[in-house]
Structure 1
Amino acid sequence: MRTRSGLRSIVVSGAGRGIGRATAELFLSRGWRVGLYDVDADAVAEVAAGRADAVHGRLDVRDPDRWRAVLDDFCGDGGLDVLVNNAGVLASGPFASMDAATHRRMVDINVTGVVNGALTGHPHLARSSGLLLNLCSASALYGQPTLATYGATKAAVKSLTEALDIEWRRDRVRVRSLLPLFVNTEMVTRDGRQASSVGSLGVRLTAEDVAAAVWRVVHERRRPLRSPHRAVGRQAQMLAALSAVSPDWAQRLVVRRLAG
């Protein structure tokens, strides 16, 4: 759909750095009108500086009222082609070593934030038969030691994606998720350093790799009955393929070995 500016439109949460920033920059470079929103308003202002088609502002994804204000302002009376639920946080390490506030913060941002984005984005996406794209993770495929709560939040996002892709067919809104493994961003290199599987599998994806996957999903052909999930990178693709055909005990054995 062409927006009031005549351009196709995309809103990206968590656009101040990492995958969100790379995605916003890619779509801006290809002529889209892009909404960049982040809890760090200065970071998105820096990315948007000097770009006529960039709209930016502060967004705490836990706040549904702020979501409504952001989308109403960006979309006006028109629709929205793509909403990328990207904002997320990670804390790694032994489950019992983290306090309740740390676990709750991951749930609030990674799950409630995605629910808020989907709920407030729906009417705008329905007007344009748009796409809701949720940033998930290969950690959602099977519970990961030292990533227990993070993986659980991403499993919730995976399930939500599946449900809404079926439920919103009547509105002609597609719902997809991306499942990368570990990406070379601050979230992984700093906050994920205690994840045992990082040492086993390494960090082989860049933010630009995931942004390119976002572009592909936005432009892919509709194929009935295809899964709504897209694994990003060879490692994630292999793990997703194995999880689809392997019995539970085999997946558990693989995860135990990766965890060391």
Structure 2
Amino acid sequence: MKNVFVKGWRPAAVLLLLFILWEIAVKLADVPAWLLPPPTDIFKEAIEGWNGLQLHLRSTVMLSLLGFAIGTGIGLLTAVLLHLIPFIREAIYPLLILSQNVPIIVLAPLLVVWLGFGILPKLIVITLVCFFPITVAALDGFRQTPGELKHYMLMAGASKDQLFWKLELPYSLPSLFSGLKISATYSVMGAVISEWLGAKAGIGVYMTLASSSFRTDRVFVAIFAIMGLSLLFFGAILLAERLLVKWKPREAKKK
């Protein structure tokens, strides 16, 4: 964890430099604030409007976490079924790939027509963007289990269930966490897209209202909030990986 903070100053310095260049360029070019506000105006709006913003943040966080949890459960269960039952994998896996070719922004209005403006269509949107990376990552982890270890356990009299729970599942954890990191960031964007469907609160609602009233500074506040939440979720998954996957070789950890 110490290395993360030591190395973290480099991207932070680059980000600070970009903000400084942005501020200077906007002031020198005399760009109207409604077109492209300087970073100082954006941060000022975030501080002054925090009381109204935090309600939207809280709504998006709760929706993201709930959708991410459902997507994780469905993704992991799907991966286990496809791994343990080969004929299901052959029949279903191509359909899973096809499901990812349907644009969520196109599917979302249909879900509203079919299911109304409640929370269900929003959770379906988040689940659709979350479960696939987890399914693929877990399947890859199951397949990467060394054959010699499987052979050894079978020679020792292990059953198929024991082989899965004591070898294949633990061995798949690094790959599974890779999928969780991707899905954690997707969950925030999925929540924002779902909030465009007609939610009462959320970053998506905040962004829509700001855009329609030409409050570009608030639009950027919403963008930075989405980025911050995505990084926060990613960091939480990374911390959980470091705490749970302690058996990885040191070489793998250094990479």
- TM superposition score normalised by structure 2: 0.24
Q: Select the structure of larger CA radius of gyration.
A: 2
Which structure carries more relative contact order (alpha carbon 8 Å, separation 6+)? Answer: 2
Higher share in helix: 2
